[in-house]
Chain A
């Protein structure tokens, strides 16, 4: 199992991560090597085994449905690269 340059471009776009065209071939090689190495898991028979998602096998706790936090617009915006009044601002998305 190996991934090619086209696949790198596709997953880079899915991850919203710019991988310059001239680096894609090399990245494909590196990722393929890692994926070939993890392919040794194919040796393991996992018939009837449930996937493990939480080591402590606990149910998520529920709490009362009440407001416990809020009113911190200033804190939340404190690190924003770009803001206007109480809003984050981004490049125009609707023409």
Chain B
């Protein structure tokens, strides 16, 4: 029998239906792998193996009764930014070390309603602020990938971030898929550097209710999975209108799984000329060209488009996201939840609690955000950034007049080593140079694994779609996936 942990969700769903194995067996195989995986990668902040076994038993009972959901018995990782009722939820911050939600996030509830099994809460950058999973208060995540060169094989690589634990668990074959959140690239960049698929849907597609907020105008939930089909199935389950999120959009959710495998003949693929930027490795651009050629061979038409304000996306992001974060994170004051550090009076209790509870990068972003919103600086920074943000969105509207999907690299390069890019925050911020533009415009994006770099590490390409047109995005991504035929697996697999 094929190793159960190597199946796609689509295969597992079919074989569970044929009763070739039970949900209990599938979950047991993943728990065994996750135990090894955890020791190797630190992908989880909290494992919930007992809960997983109970959920798997309940799934088998539902199957016996003939009432299964779309993801019944499928073992998943849940990013530890999603509030889970009765299961500790930390956002990878020590300030929430003891926080046990009394409610369930809408998206995790939807997954459970569809029968999903939760293996644990996956590690991330603290409050989803980072691109390397090295800002977590619960230790770094180590990628299941390591370099091909023997001298470098011993180096521990980052799994990307912020959804680094989710990416490591899925790439390392100890979760069949996982949830992520993407504010500036936090699903797509880790997917790219670990050789898996990651989707950030249109803003408003998934409910943000119960997901710990970082930057509310940019945050979106989405899946990390090993195939485009699996990602489509996950997103179909996660998406949908929720009255509890005031920015949730009341639009029907199409069946994304029907988009995959369709012909891309005549589809117009846009290549933004401004994405050829200095300092990007030649192999990244070569892979991008190769991806365009693959789609052309599949019948698509490749056209050049222009996104003139793309180079301003990162600076805009590093004003807007910290501004929103400084406001969102004001709630961690040691009064209603989380860890309290005493002080002489109320103000010093707040200051001590927050000073001790937040890590360095979170503190940095709160301070930047407070500064750009403070009297005298609001117009120069925050208002200006919001105006340039509209220019960025207008660029996309213009570009989508002459193309249906935009193709770009996902990340500047393959995974870097843990410890690299630590001294200079701006170097780390540049990891999101290709991904962050669409967050500012609210558009959907997907990263598909396409090839390996000279160092043997995976590289993905990103596709960007029109708002609420994930169907075209899945169609194009599926064609790219098929043409690329990416089958490489990491040296470590649970």
Answer yes or no: B316 CB below 8 A from chain A CBs. yes
- Cβ A78 vs Cβ B345 within 8 A: no
Given A27-B367, A90-B346, also A37-B315 (CB < 8 A): yes
- Nearest neighbor of B349 in chain A, beta-carbon distance: A91
Complex partner residue of B371 from A11, A40, A80, A92, CB under 8 angstroms: A11
Pairwise interchain contact A16-B354, C-beta atoms closer than 8 A = yes
For B361-398 the 0/1 string (1 means CB < 8 A from A) is: 00110111011001000000101111111110100000
Query: Assuming A19-B355, A41-B385, A55-B203, is B367 touching A60 (CB within 8 A)?
Result: no
Tell me how many residues of B have a C-beta within 8 Å of chain A: 67
Given the complex of chains A and B, what is the CA–CA distance between A56 and B251 in angstroms?
Answer: 12
CA distance A42 to B351 in the complex (A): 34
Query: CB-CB < 8 A to A86: which residues of B?
Result: none
- Contact status A79-B338, CB under 8 Å: yes
> A51 CB to closest chain B CB, in angstroms?
3
Cross-chain contact of A80 among B318, B335, B345, B384 (Cβ < 8 A) = B335
Indicate if the CB atoms of B347 and A12 lie closer than 8 Å.
no
Flag if A34 contacts B345 (CB, 8 Å): no
CB of B316 within 8 A of CB of A12, answer no
Asked whether any CB of chain B lies closer than 8 Å to the CB of A54, the reply is yes
A1-46 with Cβ < 8 A to chain B: 3, 7-8, 11-20, 27, 30-31, 33-35, 37-42, 44, 46
Contact call B385/A60, Cβ cutoff below 8 A: no
Stretch at the interface among B34-42, B242-250, B258-266: B242-250
CA distance A44 to B312 in the complex (A): 9
Q: Do B370 and A18 touch across chains, with their CB atoms under 8 A apart? A: no
Q: Which residues of B contact A88 (CB under 8 A)?
A: 335-336
Query: Which of B246, B312, B441 contacts A41, CB < 8 Å?
Result: B312
* In the complex, chain B residues 277-333 whose Cβ is within 8 Å of any chain A Cβ: 309, 312, 315-316, 318-319, 326, 330, 333
Check: A93 CB closer than 8 A to any chain B CB: yes
For residue A70, CB closer than 8 A to chain B, the reply is no
Tell me how far the C-beta of B365 lies from the nearest C-beta in chain A, rounded to whole angstroms.
9
Residues of A within 8 A of B103 (CB): 75
Q: What residues of A have a CB within 8 angstroms of the CB of B247 in the complex?
A: 54, 56, 58
**B419 contacts A by Cβ under 8 Å:** no
User: At the interface, yes or no: A49 with Cβ under 8 Å from chain B?
Assistant: yes
Closest-CB distance, A10 to chain B (whole angstroms): 8
B355, A18: Cβ atoms closer than 8 Å: yes
Most chain B Cβ neighbours within 10 Å, of A14, A40, A41, A75:
A41
Known: A53-B386, A55-B393, A90-B349. A80 touches B336 (CB 8 A): yes
> B347 touching A38 by the CB < 8 A rule?
no
Are B349 and A51 neighbours in the complex by a CB distance under 8 Å? no
Q: Total interface residues on A, using CB and 8 Å?
A: 52
Given that A34-B318, A37-B315 are contacting pairs, would A55 and B442 also be in contact in the complex, using a CB cutoff of 8 Å?
A: yes
Instruction: Check if B339 is an interface residue, CB within 8 A of chain A.
Output: yes
Task: Tell me, in angstroms, the Cα distance from A46 to B392 when the chains sit together.
Answer: 11
Q: How far is the CB of B454 from chain A (nearest CB, A)?
A: 30
Are A93 and B346 touching (Cβ within 8 A)?
yes
B338 interface neighbour in A33, A41, A81, A93, Cβ under 8 Å: A81
- The verdict on B434 contacting chain A, using a C-beta distance below 8 Å, is no
Within 8 Å CB of A58, what residues of B? 204, 247, 249
Residues of B within 8 A of A90 (CB): 335, 346, 349
Report if B416 contacts A (CB, 8 A): no
Q: A16-B350, A34-B425 are in contact. Are A82 and B340 (CB under 8 A)?
A: yes
Assess the A38–B98 pair: CB atoms within 8 A: no
Does B275 make an interface contact (CB < 8 A)? Answer: no
Instruction: Knowing A80-B335, A81-B338, A91-B346 are in contact, say whether A38-B390 is a contact too (CB < 8 A).
Output: no
A52 with B390: CB separation less than 8 A? yes
Distance in Å from the Cβ of A29 to the closest Cβ of chain B? Answer: 11
In the bound complex, CA of A72 to CA of B467 (Å) = 38
Q: Is residue A65 contacting chain B, with contact meaning CB distance below 8 A?
A: no
CB <8 Å contact, B390 and A14: no
Chain B residues with Cβ below 8 Å from A35 are 368, 371, 381
Find out whether the CB atom of A52 lies under 8 angstroms from the CB atom of B393: yes
Residue in contact with A46 in the complex, picked from B371, B388, B441, CB distance below 8 Å: B388
Given A51-B390, A55-B442, A81-B339; 18 other pairs, CB 8 A cutoff: A12-B351, A19-B367, A20-B355, A30-B364, A33-B426, A38-B318, A38-B381, A49-B387, A54-B217, A55-B441, A55-B467, A56-B467, A76-B336, A78-B102, A80-B337, A81-B334, A82-B340, A90-B335
Residues of chain A touching chain B, judged by Cβ–Cβ distance below 8 Å, are 3, 7-8, 11-20, 27, 30-31, 33-35, 37-42, 44, 46, 49-56, 58, 60-61, 63, 72, 75-76, 78-82, 88, 90-93
Closest 4 CB pairs of A and B: A55-B442, A18-B355, A51-B386, A79-B337
